[in-house]
Structure 1
Amino acid sequence: MLTAASVLAGLLLAPALASAWGPQGHRLVAALAWDELDPRARARVEQLLAGESDPTLPGIANWADDLRGNDPDIGRRSARWHYVNIAGQGCRYDAASACAGGDCVVEAIRAQAAVLGDPARPLEERRQALKFVVHFVGDVHQPMHAGYGHDKGGNDVQLRMPDGRGGNLHRLWDSGLLNTAELDDAAYLARLRALPLAVPAGTGPADWAEASCEVVVRPGVYVASGAAVDDDYVQAWLPVAEAQLRRGGSQLAGLLNRVLGG
């Protein structure tokens, strides 16, 4: 059995990446989820990840992003599975209008969770589904992944990042806000664990997407294109980003417990 110490060790050895719930955010969501897995779900996760170079939830949390370089074919086919644009629809998810062909994060979570929970499926298919689920549940809790389509989830809103570099609103929420804390994974995990357990936002990916979208449309999240992100912005919105990480971990654990713990 993997122990809490072995998961923490994996975090300490993880590379300090600061680009795109960038890599650190995804690892933190996965590590928080591990805390809340029931024993049967933990055992099944261990079975599925046996043989991986880093057989932990944080170790596979960024696999779906890494596909762009490691397996471009799957990367292209799954590109639209990372987000859903619902801010222009009042933050209400409607599959017919927001997710044609099932190509969005909401339906991807549902589809991959079904594969993961099917014991008749080959081990490799279920292992891949676990990797997708862990990543996509992280994605759906990053507010810009449930935002507006007209600006590509904030990617078209150029601004000056807190570190003085150029960037955009999406990148700010992916990693720029978290980077201002200047914490490695282990220290950030301790900080997030100290937060109260998040109140669940419904029980499924459509609920999670709608709750993330509600963050996007709050006054003050968007800044004028070309503006510099100041300390007031960081103080206002970093706690919100951290709460989303905390909630994402809890809701990922709940999903894995339902799918694998039965």
Structure 2
Amino acid sequence: MHPNYGVIQSCASADAAYAHCGATGVLGWGKEGHYAICKIAEEYLSEGALLAVKQLLPDSAGGDLAELCSWADEIRWHFHWSSALHYVDTPDFKCNYDYCRDCHDSYGHKDRCVTGAIYNYTMQLKSAYADTKSELKYNLTEALLFLSHFVGDVHQPLHAGFTGDLGGNTIMVRWYRRKANLHHVWDNMIIDSALKTFYDSELKVMIQAIQKNITDIWSNDVTDWEHCAHNYTACPDWYASESVSLACKFAYRNATPGSTLEDDYFLSRLPIVEKRLAQGGVRLAATLNRIFDSQPRIAQA
């Protein structure tokens, strides 16, 4: 069983809670990466899912899920319990992921990791929409925002990185002339460098390029990306397995402590980052479609 984290307490009322709640921290893709994933997802939402998402969003979002896709990072200092839900640590150099072995927090509490969180918030949303007569037990807006963020996080390869280096957080390198840890390179710096080098510092242009690749280069892969085995609503275990494999093949390789990462690393890793953003967006949409398509619960939500 995956955990029920229960009804989440908002740190302020209504829109204020979703606008600015607590300090901003670096977890998961940076703001640009999460924005891109949710923007891509919006293009693949069914009519019913899009309606449900828009009605769950607070007014401050203006109907745009991408505007709040980084909310889970911004409130993690207030919701301290949520920090462990952004990642799953895997055994050093095993290069594989196993839910029963790996999904726990640093205190050993089971199910407290990014894949467990995805199962949990999927369950909260699906159960609420499956029974229109039941009393609402969950904050469905926060469930939507957490789910959208964590589906993005699990696609960042180092969010399934090694326990010994905290997913690359303790591996200090230079990104060109700047000091950084390897995790931050994958969260932010590859995307930042791509924006400046190839996209005129315009995130919109980068997102459009990724969307074009989805319809052109990756068009034959989209059905496989969307698929969830055994008719499951969410399948984050597969995404985490992909991530740790990519971490071993690309993130950790040639990135030893003290090394300088420049063009060779950047240009060979950027396609991995952009494909993971694409997969995260397509899969978030597919998950939301499976949750919302069959049972509208909007009036009571």
Establish whether TM, by shorter chain, passes 0.5.
Answer: yes
**Letter of the structure 2 residue corresponding to residue 173 of structure 1:** W
Extract unaligned runs of 5+ from structure 1.
1-16
C-alpha contact 1:201 1:207 (8 A) present in aligned 2: no
Asked which structure has the greater CA Rg, the reply is 2
- Report Cα offsets for 1:33-87 as digits up to 9, x if no partner: 0000000000000111142344311111000000035xx1x1x101100000125
Contact 1:201 1:211 in 2 (8 A): no
- Quote how far apart the aligned CAs of 1:191 are: 1.1
Match of 1:128 among 139, 142, 150: 142
Indicate yes or no: 2:111 matched with 1:98. Answer: no
Aligned to 2:271: 239
Instruction: Determine whether 1:56 maps to 2:64.
Output: yes
Partner of 2:74: 66
Aligned partner of 1:82 among 86, 89, 94:
86
Q: Percent identity?
A: 29
Whether 1:160 and 2:146 are equivalent positions in the alignment is: no
Contact 1:142/1:174 (<8 A) preserved: yes
Equivalent in the alignment of 1:170:
183
Question: What is the identity, as a one-letter code, of the residue corresponding to 1:108?
Answer: A
In structure 2, the CA distance between the partners of 1:165 and 1:90, relative to structure 1 (3 Å rule), is closer
Asked if the contact 1:32–1:250 (Cα under 8 Å) also holds between the matched residues in 2, the reply is: yes
User: Hey, what does 2:122 align to over in structure 1?
Assistant: 113
CA distance in 1, matches of 2:251, 2:58: 45
Q: CA deviation at 1:94?
A: 2.8
Say which of 42, 49, 54 aligns to 1:46.
54
With the length of structure 2 as denominator, give the TM-score of the two structures: 0.75
Q: Offset of 1:97 from its aligned partner?
A: 4.2
1:218 aligns with 2:215: no
Which stretch has the larger CA shift, 244-253 or 84-93?
A: 84-93
Shift of 1:130: 0.2
What is the deviation of 1:121?
Answer: 5.8
Residues of 2 paired with 1:202 and 1:233: CA distance?
31
Q: Match of 2:32? A: 24
**Conserved 8 A contact 1:37-1:256:** yes
Q: CA deviation at 1:132?
A: 0.1
**Partner AA of 1:52 in structure 2:** S
Given the superposition, is the C-alpha separation of residues 220 and 96 from structure 1 closer, same or farther in structure 2, using an over 3 Å criterion?
A: closer
- Name the structure 2 match of 1:228: 260
- Alignment RMSD, CA only? 2.2
Structure 1 length normalisation: TM-score?
0.85
Contact kept in structure 2, 1:202 and 1:208, CA below 8 Å: no
Query: Against the structure 1 CA distance between its residues 220 and 173, is the aligned structure 2 distance closer, same or farther, given a 3 Å change threshold?
Result: closer
**Aligned residue for 1:192?**
210
Q: SS of the residue aligned with 2:148? A: helix
- For residues 42 and 165 of structure 2, the distance between their equivalents in structure 1, rounded to whole angstroms, comes to 34
Provide the rounded CA distance (Å) in 1 between the counterparts of 2:99 and 2:74: 29
Deviation at 1:227, TM superposition (A): 1.2
Of Structure 1 and Structure 2, which has the larger fraction of its residues in helix? 1
- 8 Å CA contact retained: 1:201, 1:208: no
Mapped partners of 1:208, 1:257: distance in 2 = 18
Give ranges in structure 2 of 5+ residues lacking alignment: 1-23, 229-234, 295-301
- Aligned twin of 1:9: none
Work out which of the residue numbers 264, 282, 297 in structure 2 matches 1:250.
282
Moved more, 50-59 or 249-258: 50-59
Amino acid at match of 2:100: A
1:8-57 deviation per Cα after TM superposition (whole angstroms, max 9, x unaligned): xxxxxxxxx9x761000000000000000000000000111142344311
Alpha-carbon spacing, 1:157–1:121, altered in 2? closer, same or farther (3 Å) = farther
Residue equivalent to 1:149: 163
2:124–2:138 contact (8 Å) kept in structure 1 = no
